Structure 1
Amino acid sequence: MSASPQITVTLVALILLQYLTGSYSTTFTIANNCKYTVWPGILSGADTTPFSTTGFALQPGESNTLAVPPKWSGRLWGRTLCSQDSTGKFSCVTGDCASSTIECVGGNAQPPATLAEFTLNGAGGLDFFDVSLVDGYNLPLLIKPRGATGGGNCMTTGCMVDLNTACPTELKVMSNGSSVACKSACEAFGDLQYCCNGAYATPDTCKPSSYSQFFKSACPRAYSYAYDDGTSTFACASADYTITFCPTISSNARKIN
């Protein structure tokens, strides 16, 4: 006997609900505790479903909660000192993604920028995440997992220190007389010793430099150079995540959605 139309519709609705629920089971809450506006940018990895937005503005004290596509991998960061010129072109002094709009639409962060990097539902069903200073630094940033059901090394990570003032002179990015970002040694000098991206770069040939040690000393849980995995990668199971810019300034953030 064939199923009635009503039963068929109900089954389809249940399957669709299950699918939709499973598709967006993780959330990112992106909060701005800085005293100035931050424009988050988001870049999805290859063969990964993109977010519903790739860039937006967060005023001081605001937050935005986004549903994360399944098995998502990618990075997000904060852009600062952004403006729009008379032709409508949007650009930022730090973290610009060269899209000419608030949305990054596939554009990557131009160094230097503090990066939050994720691979969700990866090996063993775990989420892997880190805060990276390999491409330099522009903002304090913290990743905090919420509601995790397990995982290895599941803990808060990030860089809560303002490194722009303490940045070595040769790495500083200046704007209107102020240090607004700190370059990586790779960007500043472009040498294999600092970049660790040559064909023969290995853990044996690529060692931390005095510059990467500057970042590591200030932010011991953040990536400081290409092979800094052991103390910089964290993993959780079935968690939501709060990504906070300037996490030490305020613990409160008013929601914008």
Structure 2
Amino acid sequence: MSIFKNLSISFFLFATLFINFAHAARFNITNNFPYVVWAAAVPGGDRQLNSKESWPLDMNASTTEAAFGLELGAFFNGSGRGSCQTGDCGGLLQCQAYGAPPNTLAEFALNQYLNLDFFDISLVEGFNVPMDFSPTSIRPYFNGCIKGITCIADINGQCPTELKTPSGYYNNPCIVFKTDEYCCNFGNCGPTTFSEFFKNL
């Protein structure tokens, strides 16, 4: 049973991630859904979050590639083994790799070019939840960036039928069709009807 199958517009801004730029970075992962979710961080592991509960997670300042996602419909036993409808981390509560698609990803890299931190929300692994990813403080040389990013459209509700999973989530066209037109592994790749549809949302 999918607990998010009938996602409505009134539930936007569910998973909120705030970044605090300092010597290292603290991420506060907040569950704004009205139900339990499992937040997954690579590196960092997983944690069950009840509604309105937050998980403060400190990241090393040298973290160059990392991501957060949410596992939905998850059940784990006392030894941390189980499965999730979406975002599953190989049946493990403590994620060792990115969760299985479909999975909305909040990605970041710290102290990169000119000591800047970079962050984005990616649908390359599909979409399972609306997300907000926002800085709560800035470093003086971060050029005053205080704007966050959001992906809060009802993508699951508007998703083309060809891309929907049986539980009602959106899969990336590359995952579904496995052709270079949608995966763009090499050569010149242009926008597709699907990529334009989701970009417009």
User: TM-score, structure 2 length as denominator?
Assistant: 0.81
Is 2:142 aligned against 1:151? yes
Which residue pairs with 2:70 in the alignment? 78
Counterparts of 1:39-188 in structure 2, within 5 Å, are 39-44=38-43, 51=44, 54-72=45-63, 73-84=65-76, 89-98=81-90, 100-104=91-95, 106-149=96-139, 150-151=141-142, 154=145, 155-175=147-167, 179=168, 181-188=169-176
User: Shift in Å at residue 101 of structure 1?
Assistant: 2.6
SS in 1 for 2:156: coil
Percent identical: 36
CA distance in 2 between partners of 1:127 and 1:84 (Å):
34
Q: What SS does the corresponding residue of 2:48 show, helix, strand or coil?
A: coil
**Unpaired segments of 5 or more residues in structure 2?**
1-21
Match of 1:213 among 188, 196, 200: 196
Q: After TM superposition, give the deviation of residue 24 of structure 1 in Å.
A: 5.7
Instruction: Give 1:215 shift.
Output: 1.4
Quote the Cα distance in structure 2 between the aligned partners of 1:110 and 1:196: 20
Q: Which runs of 5+ in 1 are unaligned?
A: 1-22, 45-50, 219-257
Q: C-alpha displacement at 1:147, in angstroms?
A: 1.1
Q: 1:168 to 1:153 in 2, by over 3 A?
A: farther
**RMSD, aligned α-carbons:** 2.1
Structure with the larger RCO, 1 or 2 (CA within 8 Å, 6+ apart): 1
What letter matches 2:184 in structure 1?
C
SS at match of 1:208: coil
Deviations 1:88-110 (CA, angstroms, capped at 9, x unpaired): 73110011111x23111x22211
Q: How many residues align?
A: 177
- Over alpha carbons, which structure has the higher Rg? 1
Task: Report the TM-score when normalising by structure 1.
Answer: 0.64
Q: Which amino acid aligns with 1:95?
A: G
Q: Does 1:196 align with 2:196?
A: no
1:75 alignment partner AA: A
Q: 1:151 to 1:63 in 2, by over 3 A?
A: same
Question: Which residue does the alignment assign to 1:244?
Answer: none
Q: 1:208 to 1:153 in 2, by over 3 A?
A: farther
